[in-house]
Each structure stands twice: as structure tokens, then as C-alpha cells.
Amino acid sequence: MGDENQLHASKVFLKHRGILRTGEAMKLGIHPRTLYRMRDEGVLVQISRGVYRLAELPELAHPDLVAVAQRVPRGIVCLVSALAYHEITNEVPQEVQIALPRGTKTPVLDHPRIRIFRFSGPALSMGVEEVDLDGTKVLIYDVAKTVVDCFRFRNVIVLGVAVEALRLALEEAEVKPSELFRYARACRIEKVMRPYIEAMT
């Protein structure tokens, strides 16, 4: 009977791209006992608290981003985490940085470590892309918006990181200066960014 339950559970997981939260799994008819047995036997891997994935699937390319998106679906990957995803930084993120609307409840995760930045208005809504990472929908700011945000938070993430990201965005990601200025105006940071953009173009 146990094997039948596990076989059924594995099929359910595969139907949902191999990844489910505990609550979702229970709603889909998987008993918690089956879930924990599969975890203990190595059939499932726990990628974050209450988030499980079939171990037989290929390794995740972005495990931390996937884990955070599963737990905080409204969070938008930003700043250094977004720079790393877009490959326009040499920084190695020590945490997953996400933007959330002001006034929303602060999520608590044991793993991976997260850092919340509160955005509002155009700064929150502009430049959001929806990408599919290993079967999970992840919200992330596009290259130009990420660079602008790095200048907005230059006192937090270091100005040098923002300047290097701007250079790589212009040279390698082929971001247009007009795109940067559009976001910079909306985020009220144009005066700060203009000298850097003009020096590089």
C-alpha cells in the first residue's frame, strides 16, 4: 500500500513539474505521512521549509530563487540577486533580495536567507518580467530596471557594484541609454545616473 501511495504521489508531483508545497500536496490527495516518508527515503528533496521536489529531476539551476518564489510568490527578485541572474555582476549573492509592496507582511524563511526591500508606485511595478525557472514562475526585474534600482540603493549595495552593472548592461546586455533614463526618471534618480550613463556612451 505504501508503494502505491508513493507511486501516486510521484505522479502528482510530476504533473506539477516535480515541485509542491506541503499544503498543495495535501490538497492534491497526498497524505503527510507519504510525503515525509518520501523525504526520509530520498525520493523527495526539501528545498525550503514546506517545499519539496522530486530528487530524480535534474539539479536546479537557480535553487534559491525557486525556493523563495515558492514561498513568497509576490516577491520580485531585485538588486544583486537580479544582477547575478542577468549575469551583469561579479558579486556572489549571499542572500536572495526581493522587492515587496510597502505594508505587506514580512515573510519568514529559514532557508535560503532573504532580504526584503520595500518598493511602491512605478518603482515596484515597472520592469517586472515573469520567467520560468525549473518549472516555477519567478518574478524578476529586467536588466535596465535592476541597474536603476542598484543606483537607488547605492548606499546599501555599494556604488561600485552599481557602476560595474551599468557598464556591463550597456556593453554586454546591449541595454539602450533611453531605457535606463525612462526608469531613472520614474524612480527619481535621473540626476544621479546621467553623468555615469553619458560617460559610458
Could you tell me if 95 and 141 lie in one domain? yes
> What is the predicted pLDDT for the residue at 28?
93
Could you list the residue range(s) of the whole structural domain that residue 147 is in? 63-200
Q: Same domain, yes or no, for 80 and 107?
A: yes
Query: Residues 121-154, buried b or exposed e (16+ Cβ, 10 A)?
Result: eebbebbebeeebbebebbbbbbbbbbbbbbbbb
DSSP secondary structure string for all residues of 169-192: HHHTS---HHHHHHHHHHTT-HHH
**What is the mean pLDDT of the segment spanning 169-185?**
95
If asked whether residues 124 and 27 sit together in one domain, one would say no
State the pTM of this model. 0.79
For the stretch 3-32, pLDDT in tens is 788 889 999 988 888 888 899 999 999 999
- Return mean pLDDT, the chain: 91
Do 47 and 70 belong together in one domain?
A: no
Range with the poorest average pLDDT among 58-72, 84-98, 115-129, 156-170: 58-72
Q: Does residue 1 register a pLDDT over 80?
A: no
Chain centroid to CA 176: 24
Non-local CB neighbours of 159 within 8 Å, separated by 6+ positions = 151
Q: Are residues 41 and 75 in the same domain?
A: no
- Kindly state the average pLDDT of the residues 89-105: 91
Residue 75 and residue 159 in one domain: yes
Same domain flag for 33 and 71:
no
Domain co-membership, 37 together with 106:
no
Q: Are both 121 and 180 inside the same structural domain? A: yes
35 and 92 together in one domain: no
Give residue 2's pLDDT.
54
In this predicted structure, what is the pLDDT of residue 146?
98
Distances (CA, A) of 111 to 40, 52, 63, 71: 19, 13, 11, 10
Q: Which residue has the higher pLDDT, 134 or 150?
A: 150
Residue of 9, 27, 19 lying closest to 136 (CA atoms)? 19
- Whether residues 126 and 169 share a domain: the answer is yes
Q: Is 70 helix (H, G, I), strand (E, B) or coil?
A: helix
CA atoms within 13 A on the CB side of 101: 8
State whether 108 and 164 are in the same domain: yes
Q: Which of 35, 54, 73 is the last residue of a domain?
A: 54
- The structural domain count of the chain equals 2
| Amino acid 105: pLDDT | 87
